[in-house]
Chain A
Amino acid sequence: MATMKHTLVALVENKPGVLNRMVSLFRRRGFNIESIAVGVSELSHLSRVTIVVNGAATMVEQVRKQLDKVVDVVKVSDVTAEDTVARELALIKVKATASTRSEIIQVVDIFRAKIVDVAADSVIIEVTGDDDKINSLFNLLRGFGIREMSRTGQIAMTRGGTGMSPVKERLSRSPEQGSQLKSQ
Chain B
Amino acid sequence: MKMTGAQILCESLVKEGVEVIFGFPGGAMLPLYDVFPHYPKLRHILVRHEQGAAHAADGYARAARRVGVCMSTSGPGATNLVTGIANAQLDSVPMVAITGQVARPFIGKDAFQEVDTTGITLPITKHNYLVLDVSSLAEIVKEAFHLALTGRPGPVLIDIPKDILTDRAEFHYPSRVKLSGYRPTLEGHPSQIKKAAKLIAEAHQPLIIAGQGVLISRAEAELKQLAETAQIPVVTTLLGIGCFPQTHVLSFGMLGMHGMAYANMAVDASDVIMAIGMRFDDRATAKVSAFAPHAKIIHIDIDPAEIGKNVRADVPIVGDVKRVLGALNKLTLPVEHIDWIRQLDDWRKEHPLLVKESDKLLPQFVIQQIAEVTHGEAIMVTGVGQNQMWTAQYYCYDKPNSLISSGGLGTMGFELPGAIGAKIGCPDRTVWSIAGDGGFQMTIQELATVAQEPVAIKIAILNNGYLGMVRQWQELFYKRRYVATPLSSPDFVKVAEAYGIPALRVKHKSEVLPAIKQAMAESGPFLIDFMIEPEENVFPMVTPGASLAELIEEPGKEEAIWRQ
Interface residues of A (CB under 8 A from B): 12-13, 16-17, 20-21, 24, 28, 62, 65-66, 68-75, 166, 170, 173-175, 178-184
User: Which residue in chain B gives the minimum CB-CB distance to A65?
Assistant: B305
27 A-B residue pairs with Cβ-Cβ distance under 8 Å, sorted by A, are A13-B181, A17-B122, A20-B122, A24-B122, A24-B123, A66-B305, A68-B304, A68-B305, A71-B126, A71-B181, A71-B182, A72-B181, A74-B180, A74-B181, A75-B181, A173-B189, A175-B191, A178-B189, A179-B304, A179-B316, A179-B318, A180-B304, A183-B183, A183-B302, A183-B303, A184-B151, A184-B154
Are A178 and B318 in contact, with the CB atoms below 8 A?
yes
Complex CA–CA separation, A73 to B192 (angstroms):
26
Are B126 and A184 in contact, with the CB atoms below 8 A?
yes
User: Which residue in chain B gives the minimum CB-CB distance to A28?
Assistant: B123
Complex CA–CA separation, A12 to B118 (angstroms):
19
Within 8 A of A (CB), among B295-353: 302-305, 307, 309, 316, 318
Note all chain B residues with C-beta closer than 8 A to A71.
126-127, 147, 179, 181-182
Residue A70 contacts which of B152, B181, B185, B192 (CB distance < 8 angstroms)?
B181
Does B184 count as interface, using CB distance less than 8 angstroms? yes
Are A183 and B189 in contact, with the CB atoms below 8 A?
no
Note all chain B residues with C-beta closer than 8 A to A166.
180
Note all chain B residues with C-beta closer than 8 A to A184.
126, 151-152, 154, 182, 184, 302-303, 305
Complex CA–CA separation, A112 to B185 (angstroms):
48
Residue A182 contacts which of B154, B182, B309 (CB distance < 8 angstroms)?
B182
CB proximity of B403 to chain A, nearest CB, Å: 24
Other A-B pairs, 15, CB within 8 Å; known A13-B180, A74-B180: A13-B181, A17-B118, A20-B122, A21-B122, A62-B305, A71-B126, A71-B127, A72-B181, A73-B181, A170-B183, A175-B189, A178-B185, A182-B185, A183-B183, A184-B126
User: Which residue in chain A gives the minimum CB-CB distance to B187?
Assistant: A178
Are B180 and A179 in contact, with the CB atoms below 8 A?
no
User: Which residue in chain A gives the minimum CB-CB distance to B153?
Assistant: A184
Note all chain A residues with C-beta closer than 8 A to B179.
71
Complex CA–CA separation, A179 to B119 (angstroms):
29
Complex CA–CA separation, A180 to B309 (angstroms):
14
Within 8 A of A (CB), among B151-177: 151-152, 154
User: Which residue in chain B gives the minimum CB-CB distance to A61?
Assistant: B308
Are B304 and A65 in contact, with the CB atoms below 8 A?
yes
Are A183 and B147 in contact, with the CB atoms below 8 A?
no
Complex CA–CA separation, A95 to B305 (angstroms):
50
Note all chain B residues with C-beta closer than 8 A to A16.
130
Indicate the member of A74, A75, A175 with the most B CB atoms within 10 Å: A175
User: Which residue in chain B gives the minimum CB-CB distance to A170?
Assistant: B183
User: Which residue in chain A gives the minimum CB-CB distance to B118?
Assistant: A17
Complex CA–CA separation, A56 to B126 (angstroms):
26
Indicate the member of A66, A75, A166, A184 with the most B CB atoms within 10 Å: A184
Say whether, besides A71-B147, A178-B189, A183 and B184 are in contact (CB < 8 Å): yes
Complex CA–CA separation, A170 to B307 (angstroms):
20
Complex CA–CA separation, A66 to B179 (angstroms):
17
Indicate the member of B119, B154, B304 with the most A CB atoms within 10 Å: B304
CB proximity of B90 to chain A, nearest CB, Å: 14
Are B307 and A179 in contact, with the CB atoms below 8 A?
yes
CB proximity of A110 to chain B, nearest CB, Å: 44
User: Which residue in chain B gives the minimum CB-CB distance to A67?
Assistant: B305
CB proximity of A184 to chain B, nearest CB, Å: 5
Note all chain A residues with C-beta closer than 8 A to B152.
183-184
CB proximity of B85 to chain A, nearest CB, Å: 16
Are A62 and B309 in contact, with the CB atoms below 8 A?
yes
How many B residues touch A, CB cutoff 8 Å?
29
CB proximity of A23 to chain B, nearest CB, Å: 10
Top 10 nearest A-B pairs by Cβ distance?
Answer: A65-B305, A179-B304, A175-B189, A183-B184, A74-B181, A182-B183, A71-B127, A183-B185, A184-B151, A184-B152
Note all chain B residues with C-beta closer than 8 A to A170.
183
Are B183 and A181 in contact, with the CB atoms below 8 A?
yes
Note all chain A residues with C-beta closer than 8 A to B182.
71, 182, 184
Complex CA–CA separation, A184 to B304 (angstroms):
7
Are A69 and B189 in contact, with the CB atoms below 8 A?
no
Note all chain A residues with C-beta closer than 8 A to B191.
175
Complex CA–CA separation, A16 to B116 (angstroms):
14
B257-289 vs A, CB cutoff 8 Å, 1 = contact: the mask equals: 000000000000000000000000000000000
Are B304 and A183 in contact, with the CB atoms below 8 A?
yes
CB proximity of A178 to chain B, nearest CB, Å: 5
Complex CA–CA separation, A55 to B304 (angstroms):
20
User: Which residue in chain A gives the minimum CB-CB distance to B182?
Assistant: A71
User: Which residue in chain A gives the minimum CB-CB distance to B185?
Assistant: A183
CB proximity of B67 to chain A, nearest CB, Å: 15
Note all chain A residues with C-beta closer than 8 A to B181.
12-13, 70-75, 182
Note all chain B residues with C-beta closer than 8 A to A181.
183, 185, 304, 318
Note all chain A residues with C-beta closer than 8 A to B189.
173-175, 178
CB proximity of B563 to chain A, nearest CB, Å: 39
Within 8 A of A (CB), among B506-535: none
CB proximity of A65 to chain B, nearest CB, Å: 4
Note all chain B residues with C-beta closer than 8 A to A179.
185, 304, 307, 316, 318
CB proximity of A76 to chain B, nearest CB, Å: 10
CB proximity of B387 to chain A, nearest CB, Å: 31
Note all chain A residues with C-beta closer than 8 A to B185.
178-179, 181-183
Note all chain A residues with C-beta closer than 8 A to B316.
175, 179
Complex CA–CA separation, A20 to B128 (angstroms):
12
Are B184 and A182 in contact, with the CB atoms below 8 A?
yes
Note all chain A residues with C-beta closer than 8 A to B130.
16-17
Complex CA–CA separation, A170 to B126 (angstroms):
23
CB proximity of A181 to chain B, nearest CB, Å: 5
Complex CA–CA separation, A71 to B143 (angstroms):
11
CB proximity of B101 to chain A, nearest CB, Å: 14
Complex CA–CA separation, A183 to B316 (angstroms):
14
Complex CA–CA separation, A62 to B303 (angstroms):
12
CB proximity of B177 to chain A, nearest CB, Å: 10
CB proximity of A40 to chain B, nearest CB, Å: 16
Note all chain A residues with C-beta closer than 8 A to B304.
65, 68, 178-181, 183
Complex CA–CA separation, A184 to B309 (angstroms):
14
CB proximity of B491 to chain A, nearest CB, Å: 44
CB proximity of B24 to chain A, nearest CB, Å: 26
Indicate the member of A66, A70, A175, A179 with the most B CB atoms within 10 Å: A179
Within 8 A of A (CB), among B119-141: 119, 122-123, 126-127, 130
CB proximity of A41 to chain B, nearest CB, Å: 13
User: Which residue in chain A gives the minimum CB-CB distance to B132?
Assistant: A16
Note all chain B residues with C-beta closer than 8 A to A174.
189
Complex CA–CA separation, A178 to B302 (angstroms):
11
Note all chain B residues with C-beta closer than 8 A to A65.
304-305
